[in-house]
Amino acid sequence: MRRLNALTVVFALLSGLLAAPTLALDYETPPSLAARDVATPELVRGPNHELVEPVVSDGWLNTYIIDSPFGQFEAQGHAELATRVREIDALAYLQAMSRSEVFIESLKKAGVGSVDAIVKVFTNPVQTIGGLPAGVRKLFAGYARTAERGLLGTRRAVTGGNSDQLDPLAFRKSNYLLSDGEREWASELKIDPYTTNLKLRRAISDMAVVQFVGGLPVDIALPMTASFALGALGNDERIYIQTASELEAANRQCLAGEGFGAQNIEAFIQADFLTPTMQTAVCRDLMALSGVTNREELVHQLVDSQSFEEARFLIRAIGLLADFNTHRTPLASIVSDSSVPEGLTRDGRLIVMLPVDLLYWTQETATTMDRISSDAEGAGVQVKELWITGRSSDLAARALGLKGWRLFGVE
């Protein structure tokens, strides 16, 4: 689990600046970014992918378009980029396997005369995605639990093609129908069996059918031309061993044991944009926050998510709070807010943990931090700390300092 260290305080305010809190600061427009400046070399380009230039920032997260032989995929944030690259490498591995002699022999045993019906998922055209995903940006608008959010019915389940549209209820049902063979393939590929990448889900499903009927070995040895960047939601082996129903039962038991009521538990299990993997990660972090009051606010925020991107962002933020509580300073309570998770330490400090890539001083950033500051001041909180996983612009660091925030980096 990542440890939090105040390696550097991002800014050091002069006393003169502190005496002038009303100094006007312009807002920033996040610039277009070169991929090499914001991603590691193996994520910029690999044997099966290349990032499209330029990379776009919304002031919090970078949006990456990933070009691959299987189409263009979209990732919001560095963590999701690493996951998508890993999934593209998994597709490349499965494609190579589909051309192998052992695969052809397995097809023959299964009575399939042509490989086209099985491996068409690799060659189907994928439309280029346009625009930015709306998920995380709307998180900071501060309208978490409103009818407007609840009325939105169908969401895009995956980046990887405009045609990949799926109703959340249908997607949830598909998770409960996932076979043992599909989870086994996911384990071998070291990817999330409940990924929202539908193209990869279809490829694994086809392979599982050939394995079941034709005896295709899962651990067939093929050259791995893959970078295989690590995923972001943990490596709990239960997601490969247990069914979705078994994970649900375990997560219900976890929440009940942590004192959550039946209504909160049911809403969490039935949430549109939480997969079994995501729910398992949340339960782990809620246990790490055991003894912290008002944890139900974290569940409410997750249940109110309006996209998988937003839910994943919140889960990472909750994970950072859990790690802070475990390894740095114990938290007393979770602070209710309409957007991002916050914690209050036992010595009265407000802690906000944001898994951002590049923090710019946009109007959205200013509005969000002003709202949190107002809530904190109303509660009598004097010390406010913002911890970020990425970097901050000079203007954002200066503006936060003027507003009384201490800014830290997460190691």
Three-class secondary structure of residue 54 per DSSP: coil
Let me know how many helices (H) and strands (E) the chain has, helices first: 19, 14
- The token pair at 82 is 């690493």
Phi-psi region of 285 (alpha: psi -120 to 50; beta: other; left: phi over 0): alpha
- The token pair at 141 is 């608008």
Distance, in Å, from the CA atom of 329 to the CA atom of 66, rounded to the nearest integer, reads 39
Residue with tokens 């560095």: 78
Q: What is the pLDDT of residue 130?
A: 36
Among residues 318, 375, 366, 343, the alpha carbon closest in space to that of 140 is found at 366
Report how far apart, in Å, the C-alpha atoms of 312 and of each of 50, 189, 309 are.
Answer: 24, 21, 5
Q: What is the pLDDT of residue 193?
A: 93
- Distance from chain centroid for Cα 244: 19
Kindly give the pairing relationship between strand 349-354 and strand 342-345. Answer: antiparallel
Q: What is the pLDDT of residue 215?
A: 59
The pLDDT profile of the chain, 411 residues, written as one tens digit per residue, is: 444 443 333 333 333 333 334 445 789 999 999 999 999 999 999 999 999 999 999 999 999 999 999 889 999 999 999 999 999 998 888 888 777 777 777 666 666 555 555 555 555 544 433 333 445 655 555 433 333 333 332 333 343 443 445 678 888 999 999 999 899 889 888 899 999 988 889 888 877 766 655 555 555 544 444 444 434 455 688 999 999 999 999 999 999 999 999 999 999 999 999 999 999 999 999 999 999 999 999 999 999 988 898 999 999 999 999 999 999 999 999 987 667 889 999 999 999 999 999 999 999 999 999 988 888 887 788 899 999 999 999 999 999 999 999 999 997
Q: What is the pLDDT of residue 77?
A: 93
Q: What is the pLDDT of residue 8?
A: 35
Whats the size of the chain, residue-wise?
411
Element (H, E) at 407: strand 405-409
Mention every residue, 6+ apart, whose C-beta is less than 8 A from residue 42.
Answer: 85, 227, 229
Among residues 346, 344, 406, 353, the alpha carbon closest in space to that of 375 is found at 344
Distance, in Å, from the CA atom of 113 to the CA atom of 93, rounded to the nearest integer, reads 22
CB–CB of 364/395 below 8 Å?
Answer: no
Distance, in Å, from the CA atom of 323 to the CA atom of 314, rounded to the nearest integer, reads 14
Element (H, E) at 385: strand 383-388
Among residues 47, 34, 55, 43, the alpha carbon closest in space to that of 81 is found at 43
Q: Provide DSSP, 328-354.
A: T--EEEEEP-SSS-EEEETTSEEEEEE
Among residues 384, 358, 367, 381, the alpha carbon closest in space to that of 31 is found at 358
Among residues 288, 299, 297, 283, the alpha carbon closest in space to that of 334 is found at 297
Q: What is the pLDDT of residue 122?
A: 59
Phi, psi of 38 (to 5 degrees): -125, 0
- The token pair at 333 is 């309570």
CA angle 376, 379, 384 (to 5 degrees): 30
> DSSP secondary-structure letter at 121?
G
Q: What is the pLDDT of residue 169?
A: 83
Element (H, E) at 266: helix 262-269
Global pTM reads 0.82
CA angle 360, 361, 364 (to 5 degrees): 100
Report how far apart, in Å, the C-alpha atoms of 188 and of each of 123, 182, 226, 371 are.
Answer: 23, 10, 14, 45
